[in-house]
A and B are shown apart, each in its own frame.
Chain A
Amino acid sequence: MDTFSSSAQLSTRNVTKVFYGKKDLFSRLSGKASNDFIAIEDISIDIEPNTFVSIIGPSGCGKSTLLNMIAGLSPTTSGEILLNGVPITGPGPDRGMVFQNYALMPWMTVEENIRFAVETVYPKLSPKQVQHTVKEHIQLVGLTGAETRHPHEISGGMRQRVGIARALAISPQILLMDEPFGALDALTRGFLQEEVERIWEQQRKTVIMITHSIEEALLLSDRIVMMTRGPAARIDEILEVPFPRPRNRETIEQHPEYHALKAEMESHLYRETRAVEAARIGR
């Protein structure tokens, strides 16, 4: 991919991430020296506005590293990431982040967690406007009635709803989701996926989601980026998902291309995962 799309909202250009090992004298003497680790190498993706993009790959392939670089939490080693043509230099509220382990503040109620985000990003809003935004997003994710609960009093599924509401409440240009349903049980997971599909239909925001789940990627995405195994993970293939929206689990399974796409992803993931396991055993 050497040509870059001009309409892209977010582009990564030849992005490489190297985690440098400890090679100083002290580390060598104490036996803690480690080699450089190339997590991902030369990744270029263009993401068009209002598309839902999933990144899928075997575990340890650097998916989360890539997302953290897009979020600005971790710098790129080489290459650049452009948001609307402007290079990303650090974290910012133009990208809303949903964390795998929710990352809710335990001392804040559901409402306060969302309000903290809104007040931080829009300090000039009147209290009334803030309250309106908070309430709107609590309704959007279906948490009305749980406003005054603390995170430890609600279920994992509800916590991630708060995480999604918090990320959306700051009206970011792009929503970044790092395995958002990874810590949930299968039933809650399925339910929340359909909720995300419903919310996405309402807002059609650009979303980049990291996932391990083939079904999840097929249900939600317009494009699926398949990555190879690490170290030096690359993009293997980008799949277009042609299912009409709005989608739900039953209707997409009827689609003629569903099983072919699924089989292709499965064979890719199994091949990569087998190679990862083989490398681990061989070491």
Chain B
Amino acid sequence: MAVSKSGGFPFYGGDRESIFFNDNVRAFLLFVGSLVTFLLLWEIGARSGLFARGFPTASKTIEELWWWVTNPFFNNGPNDLGIGWNLLISLRRVAIGYILASLVAVPVGILIGISPIAQRGFNPYIQLLKPISPLAWLPLGLYIFRDSEKTGVFIILISSIWPTLINTAFGVSNVSQDYLDVSKTLGASRLRTIFKVIIPSALPNIVSGLRISMGIAWLVIVAAEMLLGTGLGYFIWNEWNNLYLPNILVAIFIIGLVGLVLDSIFSALERFVAFGRKS
């Protein structure tokens, strides 16, 4: 900076004190510019019938979004529920299923990670169950629980358990030998080593597993709810039956936004437990 000033010869991007050339401002301008362009193209395309017939315009969608956001909590029966209620219903299911999944996945992951034999013994189950689409469990859940609420929670649990389990086991089995050597030379007991060294050392891996699991839980709930009866997923399904696309677009936007917020929380948590390590 000092060089470019004293020399009177501006380097490219060197003059960071000017707010117009700040990288953050540039990124923000790019974001706003592309958003406006996108909305304009959408509006023009929809009005001139370039897209499918009856596709909602941008202005109509934004108007609906504003209406739903300003009237989030009303209840006129299950097929006419404010988006706030639907969101809370979805979040509640995700929270219950996800917390149950984590309560199983973290301890089991630690046990599996500690013992190489357990790792090899249980690996086939994990690898077999992990790639199954969550919706494949739906009929099974409905048959076992005969209840849409419990089935929703069950599907969240079964699909969000694997990333946390695998990441926890990986983190625990890959604890740096140095930390274990320190623990050994101090004569620490097995239990003290596990709680004071192995788990804190694996925490970045555990948290990134929890983050992936949360993303999956939020993906799965919308799909599951289309078949269950309430929540954001059902809201979309209901509006599809009403053939009212602006509300579907509103729901899509809100689902994305909530997913973003949830992910940011875990991203912050990851930084909090990293202590200078890269995870």
Among B244-279, those with CB < 8 Å from A are 273, 275-277
B182, A150: Cβ atoms closer than 8 Å: no
Contact pattern, B 160-191, Cβ under 8 Å of A = 1, otherwise 0: 00000000000000001011011111111000
A73, B184: Cβ atoms closer than 8 Å: yes
Contact pattern, A 127-158, Cβ under 8 Å of B = 1, otherwise 0: 00000000000000000000000111100000
A91, B201: Cβ atoms closer than 8 Å: no
Partner of A95, one of B176, B179, B185: B185
Whether A106 contacts B187 in the complex (CB less than 8 A), given A116-B196, A120-B192, comes out as: no
- Among B185, B188, B197, max chain A CB count under 10 A is at B185
- Among B182, B183, B203, B277, max chain A CB count under 10 A is at B182
Q: Does A117 contact B (CB under 8 A)?
A: yes
Q: Is the interface of A mostly helix, strand, loop or mixed?
A: loop
A97, B201: Cβ atoms closer than 8 Å: no
Query: Cα distance A241–B201 when bound, in Å?
Result: 43
Q: Is the interface of B mostly helix, strand, loop or mixed?
A: helix
Q: Does B200 contact A (CB under 8 A)?
A: yes
B interface size (C-beta, 8 A): 21
A interface size (C-beta, 8 A): 26
Q: Does A276 contact B (CB under 8 A)?
A: no
Inter-chain contacts of B201 with A (CB < 8 A):
105, 107
A93, B276: Cβ atoms closer than 8 Å: no
B182, A103: Cβ atoms closer than 8 Å: yes
Inter-chain contacts of A121 with B (CB < 8 A):
186-187
Q: How far is the CB of A3 from chain B (nearest CB, A)?
A: 31
B197, A151: Cβ atoms closer than 8 Å: no
Q: Does A57 contact B (CB under 8 A)?
A: no
A96, B185: Cβ atoms closer than 8 Å: yes
Inter-chain contacts of B181 with A (CB < 8 A):
73, 91, 97, 99, 103
Whether A105 contacts B185 in the complex (CB less than 8 A), given A116-B196, A152-B276, A153-B276, comes out as: no
Inter-chain contacts of A103 with B (CB < 8 A):
176, 178-179, 181-182
CB-nearest residue of chain B to A116: B196
A interface residues with partner B (beta carbon < 8 Å): 71-73, 90-93, 95-97, 99, 101, 103, 105-108, 116-117, 120-121, 150-153, 170
6 of the cross-chain contacts (CB-CB < 8 Å) are: A92-B185, A101-B178, A103-B176, A103-B178, A117-B182, A120-B188
